Amino acid sequence: MTNLRITLVRGVVNSTPRQRATVQTLGLHKIGHTVVREDTPANRGLANTVRHLVTVEEVD
């Protein structure tokens, strides 16, 4: 199964509380922090919600 590499590239200072919670749910803390998650519809939806704050790459 493929994985997603999600990297926080912008800060969450001026974002909404819902977007901050989404970033925290993904496990991201600081700018430049990267996590690897399974490629599931739930994780894709979370990444899509904050797509302007993160970059997403598919990893094998």
Q: How far apart are CA 57 and CA 6, in angstroms?
A: 7
What is the torsional sign of CA 44, 45, 50, 51? positive
pLDDT of residue 60: 86
Predicted confidence (pLDDT) at residue 1 exceeds the cutoff of 90: no
pLDDT digits 0-9 by tens, 3-43: 999 999 999 999 999 999 999 999 999 999 999 999 999 99
Considering all CA atoms of the chain, what is the largest pairwise distance in Å, rounded to the nearest integer?
35
For 46-56, what is the mean pLDDT? 97
Looking at residue 4, its amino acid is L
Domains, the chain, in order of start with CATH, read 3-59 (3.30.1390.20)
pLDDT of residue 24: 98
Total residue length of the chain:
60
